[in-house]
Amino acid sequence: MKAAVLAVFLVPIAVAAEIPPAERRSGYDFMSRETRAMQDDEVTGPAVLSLLDGEALWGKLGCASCHGDAKASMRGVATRYPKVMDGKLVNLEQQVRHKAPQLAYESRDLLSLTAYVARQSKGMPIDVQPVQPQLDAGKAFFFRRQGQLDLACSQCHDDNWGKKLAGNSIPQAHPTGYPIYRLEWQNMGSLARRFRNCLTGIRAQQYAPGAPELVELELYLMWRARGMKLESPAVRP
């Protein structure tokens, strides 16, 4: 398997080219018709229960006391993260935790509440600011060869998107739908968890949830996906 993957990259490739804006496509487009239907099912799709939990938490944790009705106050919010709050670059999960620190990373409650908040921006274009030096740091991470397989994210997701890896199509890696219900996890999960899966996949150094490196990478990917529509909460294979 490793030899097969390496063989792909032994063929000389043109200098790693970013995907032209007009050619950007969401991971949604690389899924089968049936998986897409699961994402589109707003009544009994796999992410629906998490949204209902999130709505309940919004009430129970007292978010409404400052923010009122989430449908109004949270509209557009998820399209702007990661952003700088109180001098620190944070992603949406971290901002939610800032107000509810008892919610652990990757906990069911944090995922549900984040999914509920993100859902209020569904269909809106991603609109993050190019915060420096974090954006450059995230971009450098994306283009850096790492780990035992000496692979950079860009080699799969910029240069070889659309081709197959283990029978599945390689998507372009736009975080258009987080938090997602990943069929592989049989559960909701964050972008940080997905990154950790990628890092395991290329046998590279892991980062803990909330690590600044992962937030910088998220900023770069959201910047790379600017203008694309948010689909949260999405379903992915």
Partner 1 sequence: MARVVVNVPAEAKKGEVIEIRTLAGHPMETGFRRTQLGELIPRDIIRTLVCTYNGVEIFRADLHPAIAANPLITFNTVATESGTLEFRWTGDNGYSATQSATIKVV
Partner 2 sequence: MNRRGFLLLGVVGVAHAQLPPNIQEIRKKALDEAIRKVVGDAQVRTGKVKLDVPPLIDNGNAVPLSVEVESPMTEADHVKAVHIFTERNPQPYVLTAHLGARAGKARVATRARIADTGAVTAIAQMSDGSFWSDTVRVIVTLSACLEEGLI
205 sits near partner 1 (criterion: CB under 8 A): no
Using the minimum distance from each CB to partner 1, give the nearer residue, 47 or 214.
Answer: 47
- Nearest CA among 121, 98, 93 for reference residue 188: 93
Q: What is the full DSSP assignment across 41-84?
A: -TTTSTTHHHHHHHHHHHHHTTHHHHH--HHHHTTTGGGG-SEE
Dihedral angle at the C-alpha atoms of 8, 13, 17, 21, nearest 10 degrees?
Answer: -60
Write the single-letter amino acid at 126: I
Binding characters for partner 1, 31-70, by CB under 8 A (x = yes): ------------xx-x-xx--xx-----------------
Nearer to partner 1, 89 or 180 (CB): 180
Question: What is the residue whose two structure tokens read 């990943």?
Answer: 182
Least distance between partner 2 and beta carbon 32 (Å): 5
Q: Which of 13, 84, 168, 208 binds partner 2 (CB under 8 A)?
A: 168
Nearer to partner 1, 169 or 187 (CB): 187
Instruction: In angstroms, give the least distance from the CB of 49 to partner 2.
Output: 13
Whether 108 contacts 154, CB under 8 Å: no
Containing 89, the helix (H) or strand (E) segment is: strand 88-90
By the rule CB under 8 A, 186 interacts with partner 1: yes
Least Å distance between CB 98 and partner 1? 25
Distance CA 182, CA 195 (A): 13
Question: Position 152: which residue type?
Answer: A
**Which residues here bind partner 2, judged by CB under 8 A?**
1, 31-35, 37-38, 46, 165-168, 170, 182-186, 196-198, 200-203, 237
**Which residues here bind partner 1, judged by CB under 8 A?**
43-44, 46, 48-49, 52-53, 186-187
